[in-house]
Every structure is written in C-alpha cells, then in structure tokens.
Amino acid sequence: MIPDPNAIFPRADVPDMTLIRPTITRPNIEVGEYTYFSGRDFESHVTHHYPFYGDKLRIGKFCQIAAGVEFIMNGANHQMNALTTYPFYILGWEQKAPDMADLPNKGDTMVGNDVWIGQNVTILPGTHIGDGAIIGARSVVSGNVEAYTIVAGNPARLVRRRFDPELQGLLEQLKWWDRPAEEIADLIPLLTCGDLERVRQKVKELLHIT
C-alpha cells in the first residue's frame, strides 16, 4: 500500500502528525511530497514571512519536522545601519519604510530532501540545509548545513558526517526520493537497512556501478 501524498493525516490514529504539502496556503512556501510535521498548523511555525520581502521557504520531499520547529524568515530583520533598530513604520509612526537595501535580507530558506529536524529547532533566515542532514533538538541553525551531516547546538555546529565519502556519493546519485512511489516502496528494505556495506553494494547495483 502506498500512502496518499495529498492526505493531510496519513494515519487516523496519529492525529498530530500531518503531511505539510496539502495544508499549504501561502504562495511563498513550497514543500515536497510526504514531508511531515509533528503538529497541525505548520504555517504558524513560519514566522515573519511577509509577501513584500519576496523570500521563499522551500522544503524537499520526505523530510521529518518535529514539534516546535520554527522557521524565522527575513521579515524578522530590523534596519541595522541607522542609529536605532526600532521599526517606527510598522508601529504606526509617520516614517517611510526603509529601502529593502537597508534591511538585512539573507534570501530564501532551503531544506533538501530526507532531512530530519529535531524538536524545538530554530532555523534562521537564508539557511540552506542539504539532503539527508540531521538537526539536533533545540539547535539554532544559520548559514549552510552540508548534505548527510549531523549538526547540533546554538549555534548549530558539525557533530559528524553520517557516511563515508563513497557511500554519500552513491546516495547523491541515487536520489531515491525522486523515484516513482511504487519504486520507493520496493526500496524501503534497502533504505531502512542498518548493514551499510550491504547497502553500498545494492546501491551500486541499482546505479549499474561495477
């Protein structure tokens, strides 16, 4: 059986686990199929996300996002090249809004595929997280997180790499999340196997590498 990627609640007996993609209403949020959130209202965890900034949150397929995760977008930034950071224009004072060039803007926030983000993680504007990364609980993440690494802490720093360079390279070629759902279903025994040497050989066979 292959789950419906458009079903908000993939399991009736787990009401606080939702597939994110079918719940999205904002045009500046893009989420891939089967990415889930441990909660009900994912968009409320994407804060300071104002249309006039133009920044986007892009999240890949098959990501696992735990409860309490917050994505802070560029609208949280205040002008820093003046005498005060106070946003008079937002609070009803007669002040012209700063030029966009005067506001710190880190660009889009990007999360790859098959990323596990632990509970109560904060992701700052413009963060880029690579495929297969793991983010430890309560981490504060900014900048770039390389693919298939584990990071944790405040600020989040590298704990270790998940796989050796050869196996990581094979996984980057495999891109299992882009395969048809029927093929992914057949790959589950391989994707969940803890014998990494067996996995290495099987992936090579799939990629026709001798």
Tell me if 171 sits within 8 A of 163, measured CB to CB: yes
Q: Which of 45, 78, 128, 208 is catalytic?
A: 78
Query: Is 78 one of the annotated active-site residues of the chain?
Result: yes
Tokens representing 135 are 């983010």
Nearest to 130, CA basis, from 160, 105, 103, 110: 110
The bridge status of strand 57-59 relative to strand 109-111 is parallel
Nearest to 110, CA basis, from 176, 62, 57, 48: 57
Cβ-based neighbours of 151, under 8 Å, separated by 6 or more = 133, 134, 135, 136, 139, 141, 145, 157, 158, 159
Tokens representing 147 are 């693919």
> Which residues are catalytic, by number?
78
